[in-house]
Amino acid sequence: MDSLSRIGIFLAVARQQSFAGAARELGLSSSAVSKQILNLESELKTKLLNRTTRKVSLTEEGSVFFERASRALEDLQEAREQLNELKTTPRGLLRVSMPTTLGTQYLKGPIAEFALQYPEVTLDVQFEDRLIDIAEEGFDLVLRIAALPDSSMVARKLARAPFYLCCSPDYLKQHSKPRTAADLAQHNVLAYTRNKGAHEWRYRAPDGKQDVVALKSSFKCDFAEMMIEAACRGIGIIITPAFFVQSALAQGRLVRILKDHSTVPERNLYAVFPPNRFISTRLRLFVDHIHDYCKKTFRY
């Protein structure tokens, strides 16, 4: 067995913290795994692993080697993928995460179209609203509505995502219409519980000045579609990305208020990639496909 294969076995043992676990992952016997680790340590003239009856852990030298070797093998795999994609049609696994409401309202069709167009790409698409750690969880792409992209990530802007303040016509019949941002303090403004900050609205007034108003709520939820339904039923005012309420506004179920005010900071929809990674053809084509759809669909 060559050195590169032994390094791969070492990385598996380090990840699993177990010879048996690495053996199951690699389809080898535990004795074969142990033998190759001994051969690698002999070749490097360095002890890489501490072994006990219960656990395998990295030595200080092993930790350094694990970090560098992991990056080297990732680079090698990406180089192989890049060469393969120069010769063949896009193929391989593409793991994508996006906000639930965005995915269910708008992106189901475009994603299905992409799958039909590139049948050799294996898509793993997850709709979820929690904040994804893209590198830690192994995603190739996350769609994120944010003020600015994470500085440690690579991001491409797909569309503007201004926030609208909306309520139902029935709500306005029962409550005085807010004329200023300060008036919101007297209203029931639905609270999105995944927002870990204070329940408040930061805004820019018509005169250009920025300020903040504290809000109160008798309805709290972690799911945007439920909040939209609550607003349509007259429960309160909703502050949400414009494309989430586009349909309800067109149907007259919701109306905009305080149109001359704007939420700050400005939000956009971004495609976010892990840093320092090769952008595969399949990933680039998918992002281009979603960008083209957003360009035609979201005009704010």
End position of a domain, from candidates 30, 51, 86: 86
Residues 257 and 181 in one domain: yes
Residues 251 and 174 in one domain: yes
Residues 148 and 185 in one domain: no
Residues 233 and 171 in one domain: yes
Residue 87's pLDDT band (cuts 50, 70, 90): low
The per-residue pLDDT for 95 is: 94
Report the number of secondary-structure helices (H) and strands (E) in the chain: 10, 15
Q: Please list the residues that pair with 214 across neighbouring strands.
A: 200
Between 260 and 131, name the one with better pLDDT. Answer: 260
- Residue the block writes with tokens 């502050």: 239
Residues 212 and 79 in one domain: no
Task: Tell me the mean pLDDT in the region 84-96.
Answer: 78
Residues 21 and 82 in one domain: yes
If one counts every other C-beta atom within 10 angstroms of the C-beta of residue 21, the result is 16
Domain-embedded: residue 194: yes
End position of a domain, from candidates 44, 62, 86: 86
The per-residue pLDDT for 277 is: 63
Domain-embedded: residue 120: yes
The per-residue pLDDT for 88 is: 65
The per-residue pLDDT for 138 is: 83
- How many domains does the chain contain in total? 3
| Angle ∠(130,78,95) on CA atoms, nearest 5 | 25
| H or E element at residue 49 | strand 49-51
**Measured distance CA(87)–CA(95) in Å, rounded:** 22
Longest dimension (CA), the chain: 81
Take residue 94 and report the two structure tokens written for it.
């593409």
For position 197, which CATH number holds? Answer: 3.40.190.290
Residues 170 and 257 in one domain: yes
Residues 212 and 81 in one domain: no
| Angle ∠(268,271,277) on CA atoms, nearest 5 | 140
Residue 192 has pLDDT above 90, yes or no: yes
Task: Tell me the mean pLDDT in the region 128-155.
Answer: 81
Domain-embedded: residue 176: yes
If one counts every other C-beta atom within 10 angstroms of the C-beta of residue 96, the result is 22
Domain-embedded: residue 276: yes
Residues 66 and 103 in one domain: no
Task: Tell me the mean pLDDT in the region 59-86.
Answer: 81
Task: List pLDDT tens digits, range 5-35.
Answer: 898 898 999 988 888 888 888 899 988 998 9
Residues 237 and 276 in one domain: no
Q: Whole domain around residue 53: which residue ranges?
A: 3-86
Domain-embedded: residue 74: yes
Residues 110 and 246 in one domain: no
Residues 104 and 73 in one domain: no
If one counts every other C-beta atom within 10 angstroms of the C-beta of residue 161, the result is 25
Pure H helices in the chain? 3-16, 19-26, 30-44, 60-87, 100-102, 108-117, 169-174, 224-232, 246-250, 281-297
Residue 149 has pLDDT above 70, yes or no: no
For position 140, which CATH number holds? Answer: 3.40.190.10
For position 20, which CATH number holds? Answer: 1.10.10.10
Task: Tell me the mean pLDDT in the region 156-167.
Answer: 95
Domain-embedded: residue 157: no
Domain-embedded: residue 158: no
